[in-house]
């Protein structure tokens, strides 16, 4: 979505979104310390502050907007669009590993590949994987719990 807006409109559109007031030279980057825990807390604070809107824009410099959307209806509008599917330049670092598949491609290439894989994700097929997903989710949660205990004991 960002690529679409910056190509076809101006960054002024994004400046109308809610968000912390950016510095003219650094955007909101000065709010982020570089320490992952502090940065995550800052993002969570912004989410709480802009909770009612469900969307906000943070600037990582004067011309690098980062739009965070976290309300399901807003996410659905964006994700269900077949028009606004241009990937941000950030996806280019994945090309050496993943090529230009469904995750990294856009436009006609994305549409063709998405049509090919759509039947794979039909509900009747996905039902066969519920037990495996539940088992793997439980393993994942147990790993997170161990990391949380480790991090708590360190601090």
Instruction: List pLDDT tens digits, range 56-111.
Output: 999 988 888 888 898 888 888 877 776 767 777 778 888 888 888 888 888 888 88
Asked if residue 67 and residue 20 are part of one domain, the reply reads yes
At 6, the pLDDT band (50, 70, 90 cuts) reads very low
With cut-offs at 50, 70 and 90, classify the pLDDT of residue 5: very low
Identify the pLDDT of residue 3. 47
Closest to 2 measured CA to CA, from 43, 72, 60 = 60
Mean pLDDT of 28-36: 88
Given 86, 106, 139, which residue is the final one in a domain? 86
Residues 82, 10 within the same domain: yes
- In-domain check, residue 93: no
């Amino acid at each position: 979505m960002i690529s679409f807006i910056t190509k076809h409109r101006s960054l002024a559109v994004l400046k109308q979104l809610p968000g912390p007031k950016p510095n003219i030279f650094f955007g909101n980057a000065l709010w982020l310390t570089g320490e992952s825990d502090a940065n995550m807390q800052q993002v969570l604070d912004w989410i709480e502050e802009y909770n009612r809107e469900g969307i906000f824009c943070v600037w990582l410099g004067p011309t690098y907007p980062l739009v965070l959307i976290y309300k399901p209806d807003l996410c659905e509008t964006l994700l269900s669009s077949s028009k606004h599917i241009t990937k941000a330049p950030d996806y280019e670092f994945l090309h050496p590993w993943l090529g230009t598949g469904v995750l990294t491609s856009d436009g006609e290439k994305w549409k063709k590949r998405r049509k090919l894989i759509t039947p794979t994700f039909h509900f009747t097929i996905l039902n066969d994987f519920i037990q495996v997903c539940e088992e793997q989710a439980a393993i994942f949660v147990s790993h997170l719990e161990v990391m949380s205990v480790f991090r708590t004991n360190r601090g």
